[in-house]
Amino acid sequence: MTINDGFLVILPMRGGSERIPRKNLLDLAGKPLYSWILDTVLTLDGAHVVVDTDDDEIAEQVAAHYADVQIVRRPSHLGVGTAPMNEVLVNTLNNTSFYPTVLQVHATNPFVSRGSLVSAVEMVASDNKCDSAFSATRLQARLWTNDLEAVNHDPKVLLRTQDLAPLFIENSSFYVFDRTGFMASRNRIGSQPAMVEISSLEAVDIDNPDDLEFARLIAPNLEKSLVGQL
């Protein structure tokens, strides 16, 4: 199978954001926050795009502006903040056509590039050695525990941070997984995962008001075609 054979894209959007009320619908440089990632995934060849939501306003806005996007209504018990994302995805998959490869993105990661998504989907769709892929950000810094124990460095040997062995943060910007394997394990990261490194700019995650303000400073001057190179 290849990416051109088609794959499913799931964009889950809960209406009850807690730290930033109605977050997914807020304006970011002239359009709703959710439109940034939705506009990006709709450029992917072979993508069948689904928005999963429990919210009437979100469903109505998406339906009004994105005729090619399927809406899946989430039951109320999966619309609370404590609902496991894996169970949300199971509900979505049970209400959509079968595609072997699934890409899951988030509305709160507006700057993820098309190139990074294509690379991740191609890894899973065409590489028999890989059953899943997830986005990650490189971290090269001196880390300590709460008990002041050095995690990844020797305090007596002052290496430059760029010479430290890198660690990687699973930043949750996107996941790609095999549908059959996910439904069996209820885990987006399979037994043979791959990691897709993305830039700190692509990994911007709007989780609190400061994140939103930061994104609003960046967005007006951002050329999305260049995000993956920054």
Packing angle, helices 33-41 and 56-65, rounded to 10: 50
Model confidence over 174-204: pLDDT tens digits? 999 999 999 999 999 999 999 999 999 999 9
pLDDT of residue 127: 66
- Residue 103's nearest CA partner among 55, 112, 208, 128 is 112
Please report, for the chain, the start and end positions of each structural domain, with discontinuous segments joined by +: 3-134+171-218
The Cα angle at residue 193 between residues 187 and 199, in degrees rounded to 5: 105
Report whether 51 contacts 74 (CB < 8 A): no
CA 64 to chain centre: 24
Using the predicted structure, report yes or no on whether residue 230 has a pLDDT greater than 60: no
Q: What is the pLDDT of residues 58-85, one digit of tens each?
A: 999 999 999 999 999 999 899 888 889 9
- Domain 3-134+171-218 matching CATH 3.90.550.10: the answer reads yes
Q: Give the chain's largest Cα–Cα span.
A: 61
What 8-state DSSP symbol labels residue 31? E
Return the H-helix or E-strand segment holding 139: strand 132-139
Tokens of residue 53, six digits: 């939501």
With a cut of 90, say whether residue 2 has pLDDT above it: no
Residue 176 three-state SS: strand
What is the reported pLDDT for 167? 94
